[in-house]
Amino acid sequence: MGFLIDAKRLVFGIETKKTTYAFAIDNLGLVRHLYWGEKIDSLDDFDVPPLSEISSNDPILDLTDEEYPVYGGMRYKENCLKVLFADGTRDIEYKYDGYTQTDEELVIHLKDAHYDFAFNLHYKVYEELDLIERFVSLENKMNESVTVEKIHSAQLHIPYQDLTLTSSHGHWLAEFQEFKQPLGQGKIVLENRRGISTHNHNPFFILDRQATETSGEVYYGILKLSGNFSTIIEPRPYGGTLVQMGINPHDCLLTLNAGETFVAPAMLFGYTTEGFEAMSHHMHDYAKQHVLREGVRPVLYNSWEATEFDVQCDEQIALARKAKEMGVELFVIDDGWFGQRHSDADGLGDWYVNEEKFPEGLTPLIDAVKGMDMMFGIWIEPEMVNPPTQLLKDHPDWIYHVENRVNDTSRNQMVLNVTLPEVQTFIFNMIDDLLSKYDIDYIKWDANRPISQTGLSREMWVRHIEAVYDIARRVKERYPHVLLEACASGGGRVDYGMLENGFDDFWTSDNTDAYDRLTIQNTYSYVYPIKAMRAWVTDANNRVTIPLRFKFHSAMMGTLGMGCNILKFTDEEMKLSAELIEEYKEIRDVVQNGDFYRLNHTSRNNYYCYEYANESEAALFVFLPQTQIARTGVRIKLRGLDETATYTFMLAGAEVRKTGAYLMNHGIDVKLSGDYASTIIKFKKSE
């Protein structure tokens, strides 16, 4: 497994546990895609027949299944790379320039036939996970600059057109709304143009052929980018479907100066014949094995709903005491602790502790939290500034703005030009000062508006997020114990670019309604890891009062947090919260580190059923938001168990013992009643 190379015929294969991906250098010197699908062991089986034109309206360059099509010649299809040379040439004619291979990577080297300009196709393989990673790097070896008008990271070829696209759409408070649509004969474009937020679409795609959770062909991929991305899906006139992902070319130009290189964000993709469940397991395992730190995430309490901007030291300590009584492990003070921050109209940028709210600084609060044996976290929004702040008065040129235009504000704030080295230094030093001065374990990094008025710079859409990544990596290198949470008005920065550049957790959505979160979390689970999904119990809901138990069960499906005003909790609510937090800790390892299953059922009632399982235990979550007229229960068949082992669990108040084979093939009957009913059933494997 790994890389297979026929050096004589220039045929290349990438082999995973169950799949093969193959391409070759053809008779025209083009990098031609050959195959992506179930495993084929021998490269000898792959022919590379010469291409010939079908008609004068179907040029060879347009018909060739190129691995990485460029703009140039008689190509009218979507291209991955378009550049402008210094002499005005807007065309690439490439030739094969060899390959290099290590244990970790295969690189195909291509160069322009006239200009000393090279681009390299990079391939990595995660064999056991049936995943491949692709990206492209550019090298300008000339004395003149090159302007990059478009750069996509990869193009994939799928040999079918009868496919269904699954991805997400939405908006603030409604991120990760799943949609499905059949491919027609037009082009589908999913994108982000806002620089920061991706509430509307997310950089992933899933294409299937009548697949179910456990069967059927599924092709899928994600882009490791947090900013402006573009996904293009296009059925081809002569069959098959193309998928491209990369930096959105909208308003974007990159200048590659003499001697410079540029590396595009990576695209991770996979294929399975075993349905959506296998896809999710591969992506989750990739995150757990190659991205996320080991261990379990702490139970969190965040003070925002209790106090909003009106934070006071004594009240925060009182909240911490109540949180500790419940079993919380991490106390996070949210917005309002700094500058003249009494509303969203001031304070951002003036990152000093407000002395009226904290006369002795943050030390008394942190000491109190640490004295209760809890971790301490803090909220920041380092890329933003409010107009009244001293920072903006001292540095009016530090924001994105357009001359002769009124500066845009949204949520009463402007966006710092993070592409400036002095702004990057300011942000890093601010965070470094906080972490060196105070014993902080957790940072909630927020970003509450899109970027606008970018002026003459058209590469800032890329450079801004590169700078954010760089700052986060530097912070983690200096303070490796600190957990970073990616937040952008909720789920605006849920992507692998954030995870692989220093961040540990996602704030999944500002919508904390426990019922809404079931659908948000379901779509999130397709490609993103459960362990990074922060989910809170809060006072907020968009409907009639939801029981506290249902709220907890919904939030326990990820990394549990709380945001209620617990100072107003009754003794009964405190007791129930403590019991449920303790129950979460009992199943936390299997929830965060186990395998996740979206379970199907045939009940006439609208049950939501999910399972987490590892080698020794499983946890089954069952939700019934509303009992229908037919008061029917649900038969649930579990998955991922040891069919030869016996499992012990509680059902209807009695201890039950069943084999894994029975639980997976026959299943168990569960009946909930009323509105917003829920239960968790824990299965222990017998020794």
Catalytic residue numbers read 446, 510
The CA-CA-CA angle for residues 654, 655, 660, to 5°, reads 130
Strand partners, 649: 656
Length of the chain: 687
> Any idea which residue has 């390959």 for tokens?
99
| Per-residue tokens: 38 | 């179930």
| Per-residue tokens: 647 | 């499992």
Residue 92 phi, psi (nearest 5):
-115, 130
Work out whether strand 300-302 and strand 559-562 pair parallel, antiparallel, or are unpaired.
parallel
> Any idea which residue has 């210094």 for tokens?
86
How many CB atoms sit inside 10 A of residue 678's CB? 22
| Per-residue tokens: 573 | 């609510």
List of residues 6+ apart from 160 with CB closer than 8 A: 209, 240, 241
Output the CA torsion 558→563→291→172 (10° steps): 90
> Any idea which residue has 């801004």 for tokens?
464
- What is the residue-wise DSSP string for 507-571? E--S---HHHHHHHHHHHTTTS-GGGEEEEE-S--SSSPPPHHHHHHHHTTSEEEE-S-GGG--H
| Per-residue tokens: 89 | 């040439």
What is the Cα Rg of the chain in Å?
Answer: 27
Q: How far is CA 632 from CA 156, 281, 553, 625, in A?
A: 45, 31, 21, 14
Secondary structure of residue 312 in the 3-state scheme = coil
Q: In what order do the strands lie in the sheet with 617-624?
A: 595-598, 608-613, 617-624, 677-685, 646-651, 654-659
Beta carbons of 62 and 74 less than 8 angstroms apart: yes
How many CB atoms sit inside 10 A of residue 650's CB? 12
Secondary structure of residue 5 in the 3-state scheme = strand
How many CB atoms sit inside 10 A of residue 644's CB? 8
How many CB atoms sit inside 10 A of residue 27's CB? 11
| Per-residue tokens: 340 | 């003249």
Q: How far is CA 314 from CA 224, 319, 359, 443, 564, in A?
A: 42, 9, 11, 21, 18
Identity of the residue numbered 226: S
Strand partners, 613: 595, 618
Q: Where are the beta strands (DSSP E) in 227-359?
A: 229-235, 241-247, 254-256, 261-263, 267-272, 300-302, 330-333
The CA-CA-CA angle for residues 166, 170, 173, to 5°, reads 135
Q: Which of 323, 450, 314 is CA-nearest to residue 377?
A: 323
DSSP 8-state assignment for residue 70:
B
